[in-house]
C-alpha cells in the first residue's frame, strides 16, 4: 500500500520548508528511517527519514522548491508512473549525477573550460578553488541548475589535481556573480533587521580572568573525557555560570510581550552554532536543572547534530537566553544582535594570555600573565536597565574567576 511522505512541520511557527537535496531517486529502495531528503527551514536544516520501507515510486517536488508543511512531497510503495513527472525527472537527475565526477579516471584529459557558462557555487567552493589555483569553468557542476558542489570540486581535484591549466589566481573566483540567498540566509537577514528595528540594543563588555578555569580544565580534561565520554571544553563552564546568574537576575531571562513582562519559568539556553550554510541556535531546555556534565554532553551533542543536519524540530526555537561564541574565530569581542523574542544575548570573545596587574590583600601590585577573555552582553533597553546588566555580568564574572563547583 503506498505511503505518502509529507513536508514535516519543523517547529510550531514553521509553515513551509525548502527541499535542499533528494538523497534517493525514483526507483530506489529505502529502509524505514533511512535518510530520504534534506530540507531547509528558517529554524533548521535537517535530514528527513523515510517513514516506511519500500520503493520510492514518486517525487512530487524538485530540489530548490519551497513547500507548505503537511504537503505530500513523495510516495513510497506506489506504482511508478510510465512517464515520470518533470519534478521527479529533475530530482532523479540531481540525485544520480554526483557520482559522475568521482568516476573520472586519473589519466583522463583535462576538461576544457566553458567561458560562456554562468558559474553557480558556494563561498566554500570558491575558497577551495582559490586555494588550489583552479578555474571553476573547468569543473562540471552536478547541483541544481549546474551548481558546483563541494563534492564536485573535491572529485575534480582528486582526478586532475590543483591548478589545471595554471590559471591566474583571480580567475578562480567568479567575482561579480549574482547568487540568490538560500532560504536560511534570507530568514536570518530578515530576523536580524527586525530585531534591530524593534529592540533598542545596548551592549556591556566585561573582561574576565579565566586562569583558574584554564588550569582546572588542563588538569581534568583527560580524566573527564574518559569518565563521561565527552571532551571538556570551556563552554559548559560558561553555560553553568550564565545559568546561575540568570537564576539570580530573572529579568535578563524574561521577554517583553506587548506591555507585559513574561518571566519564564525555566531557562532555555540557546547555543549558537555556525554552519557552512548559516547559523542555527539549538536549545538546552530547563538548563537550570542540568548538572555540569549534562551541560557538557548536551552542548557537544547539539552542536554535532546541528552540523550533521540531525536536529529534531523541538530542539530549535523557544530559547530564553543565547550564548554565541565569536571568539572561536579570534574576535576580541562582538556586539551581538538579540535573538528575538529574547531580551539578552551574550557573546564570548577569544581567550588570550595577557599581562595583568594583580593586587594582593596588602595593596601590593604585581604583573602576571593571565588568561583573559572579553564577554559582551547585548540587551533590550526597553526591559533591562544598565544596572540589571551590570549585576548579571558581575555575578557571571565572579563565578568564573572564583570557580569552586564540582565538574564531575
pLDDT at 310: 85
> Out of 201, 331, 374, 385, which one is annotated catalytic?
385
Q: Does domain 3-96 have CATH number 2.40.50.100?
A: yes
The CATH homologous superfamily of the domain defined by 184-401: Chloramphenicol acetyltransferase-like domain (3.30.559.10)
| 87 pLDDT higher than 50 | no
Is 216 a residue whose pLDDT tops 80?
Answer: yes
pLDDT digits (tens, 9 = 90+) for 16-63: 888 989 999 999 999 988 889 988 776 677 888 899 999 999 999 998
As a whole number of angstroms, the distance between CA 79 and CA 190 comes to 42
Sign of CA pseudo-dihedral 163, 165, 169, 170? negative
pLDDT at 341 over 50: yes
pLDDT for residue 113: 52
Q: How confident is the model at residue 106 (pLDDT cuts 50, 70, 90)?
A: very low
Percent of the chain with pLDDT over 90: 55
Q: Tell me: pLDDT of 211 over 50.
A: yes
pLDDT tens per residue across span 287-323: 999 999 999 999 999 999 988 888 887 788 899 999 9
pLDDT band at 165 (very low <50, low <70, confident <90, very high): very low
Q: At the fourth CATH level, which superfamily is domain 103-172?
A: E3-binding domain (4.10.320.10)
Q: How confident is the model at residue 331 (pLDDT cuts 50, 70, 90)?
A: confident
DSSP string, 137-191: GGSPP-SGGGPBPHHHHHHHHHHH-S-TTT--GGGGS-TT---PPPHHHHHHHHH
Average pLDDT over the chain, rounded to an integer: 84
Question: Is 385 in the active site?
Answer: yes
Give the model's confidence band at 166: pLDDT under 50 very low, under 70 low, under 90 confident, else very high: very low
Which letter does DSSP use for residue 61 in this model?
A: S
Predicted pLDDT of residue 33: 85
15/123 Cα distance (integer angstroms): 29
pLDDT in tens, 172-192: 445 788 888 777 788 888 889
**What is the arithmetic mean of pLDDT over 2-12?**
82
Cβ proximity of 197 and 381 under 8 Å: no
Do the first three CATH levels of 3-96 and 103-172 match, i.e. the same topology? no
Q: Which three cell numbers stand for residue 89?
A: 525527472
pLDDT for the residue numbered 169: 37
**Residues 345 and 377 sit within 8 Å (Cβ to Cβ):** yes
Q: Which of 301, 381, 388, 404 is catalytic?
A: 381
Domain boundaries, the chain: 3-96, 103-172, 184-401
pLDDT tens column, 221-255: 999 999 999 999 999 999 999 999 999 999 999 99
| Residue (of 236, 202, 403) closest to 323 by Cα position | 236
| pTM of the complete model | 0.66
Position 83 pLDDT exceeds 60: no
* Structure confidence by residue, pLDDT tens digits, 354-390: 999 999 999 999 999 999 999 999 999 999 999 999 9
Average pLDDT over residues 74-88: 61
- Confidence (pLDDT) at 117: 52
Backbone angles phi, psi at 40, to 5 degrees: -130, 130
Q: How confident is the model at residue 11 (pLDDT cuts 50, 70, 90)?
A: low
pLDDT at 86: 45
Residue 111 has what pLDDT? 56
The rounded percent of the chain whose pLDDT value lies above 70 is 82
Amino acid at each position: 500500500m503506498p505511503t505518502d511522505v509529507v513536508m514535516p512541520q519543523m517547529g510550531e511557527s514553521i509553515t513551509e520548508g525548502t527541499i535542499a537535496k533528494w538523497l534517493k531517486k525514483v526507483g530506489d529502495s529505502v529502509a524505514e528511517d533511512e535518510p530520504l531528503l534534506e530540507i531547509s527551514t528558517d529554524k533548521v536544516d535537517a535530514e528527513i527519514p523515510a517513514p516506511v520501507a519500500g520503493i520510492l515510486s514518486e517525487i512530487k517536488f524538485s530540489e530548490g522548491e519551497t513547500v507548505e508543511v503537511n504537503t505530500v512531497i513523495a510516495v513510497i510503495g506506489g506504482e511508478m508512473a510510465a512517464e515520470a513527472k518533470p519534478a521527479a525527472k529533475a530530482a532523479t537527475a540531481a540525485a544520480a549525477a554526483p557520482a559522475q565526477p568521482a568516476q573520472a579516471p586519473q589519466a583522463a584529459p583535462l576538461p576544457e573550460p566553458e567561458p560562456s557558462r554562468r558559474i553557480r557555487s558556494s563561498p566554500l567552493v570558491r575558497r577551495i578553488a582559490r586555494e588550489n589555483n583552479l578555474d571553476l569553468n573547468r569543473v562540471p557542476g552536478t547541483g541544481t541548475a549546474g551548481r558546483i558542489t563541494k563534492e564536485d570540486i573535491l572529485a575534480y581535484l582528486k582526478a586532475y589535481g590543483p591548478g589545471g591549466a595554471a590559471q591566474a589566481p583571480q580567475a578562480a573566483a567568479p567575482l561579480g556573480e549574482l547568487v540568490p540567498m538560500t532560504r536560511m540566509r534570507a530568514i536570518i537577514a530578515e530576523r536580524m533587521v527586525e530585531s534591530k528595528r524593534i529592540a533598542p540594543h545596548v551592549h556591556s563588555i566585561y573582561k574576565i580572568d579565566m586562569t583558574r578555569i584554564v588550569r582546572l580544565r588542563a588538569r581534568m580534561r583527560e580524566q573527564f573525557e574518559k569518565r563521561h565520554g565527552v571532551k571538556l571544553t570551556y563552554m559548559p563552564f560558561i553555560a553553568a555560570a550564565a545559568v546561575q546568574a540568570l537564576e539570580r537576575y530573572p529579568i535578563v531571562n524574561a521577554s517583553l510581550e506587548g506591555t507585559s513582562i513574561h518571566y519564564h519559568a525555566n531557562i532555555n539556553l540557546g547555543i549558537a552554532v555556525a554552519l557552512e550554510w548559516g547559523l542555527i541556535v539549538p536549545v538546552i531546555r530547563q538548563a537550570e536543572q542540568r548538572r555540569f556534565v549534562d551541560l557538557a554532553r548536551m552542548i557537544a551533542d547539539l552542536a554535532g547534530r546541528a552540523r550533521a543536519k540531525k536536529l529534531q524540530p523541538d530542539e530549535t526555537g523557544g530559547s530564553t537566553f543565547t550564548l554565541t561564541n565569536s571568539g572561536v574565530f579570534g574576535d576580541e569581542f562582538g556586539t551581538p544582535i538579540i535573538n528575538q523574542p529574547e531580551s539578552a544575548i551574550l557573546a564570548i570573545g577569544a581567550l588570550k594570555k595577557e599581562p595583568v596587574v594583580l593586587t594582593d590583600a596588602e595593596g601590593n601590585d604585581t604583573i602576571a600573565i593571565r588568561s583573559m577573555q572579553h564577554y559582551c552582553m547585548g540587551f533590550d533597553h526597553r526591559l533591562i536597565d544598565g544596572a540589571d546588566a551590570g549585576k548579571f555580568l558581575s555575578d557571571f564574572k565572579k563565578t568564573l574567576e572564583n570557580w569552586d563547583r564540582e565538574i564531575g
